[in-house]
Amino acid sequence: MSRHKYSPTKVSSMDKIKVANWDDFNIGDKAEHTKTITDEDIQIFAKLSGDFNPIHVNEEYAKTTMFRQRIAHGMISVSLISAVLGMHLPGPGAVYMSQEVKFRNPVFIGDKLTAKGEVVEKFTKKEGKLKFLKIQTNVYKQEEELVTEGSALVIIQ
């Protein structure tokens, strides 16, 4: 697991924040973030994104689909990856530069999602002035079924 672990309640002033430092990370470092998906999460995400596709928000419509029930927006699982990168690995101070993602399985209300990150590459550019981590980013439901697969690139100090 990462040496950098934060919770929003602890990040209240600059003097309490330990900013991620590139030298502190090694290939193989890991972190994760877990959340159970609720109807409220889906409703809030629909309002935030403007995506009111009935597969997400209308139970009667969803019953007529191949899933037979509402599914969560795929980007909700990706947002859990953002929590891993911004709060745990590498953590505060990191800048999320890119994300490759493939959606493998649906997420339903009540699914417990765990986003996992693992450093798979470290490199620099511009004579060492820009420092990057490539992080494998996968999300599982009920800790076993892959729902979202990908990799992210972050830049840190």
pLDDT at 1: 45
Q: How many residues does the chain have?
A: 157
Whether the upstream peptide bond of residue 90 has omega within 30° of 0, thus cis, is yes
The string of pLDDT tens digits covering residues 74-104 is: 999 999 999 999 999 999 989 999 999 999 9
Alpha-carbon span 138 to 146, nearest angstrom: 7
Rounded Cα distance, 26 and 74, in Å: 30
Res 57: pLDDT = 97
Per-residue model confidence as pLDDT tens digits over 111-154: 999 999 999 999 999 888 899 999 999 999 998 999 999 999 99
Which residue ranges form the domains of the chain, and what is each CATH number? 20-156 (3.10.129.10)
The count of other CB atoms within 10 Å of the CB of residue 56 is 20
What's the CA gap between 157 and 154, in Å, rounded?
A: 10
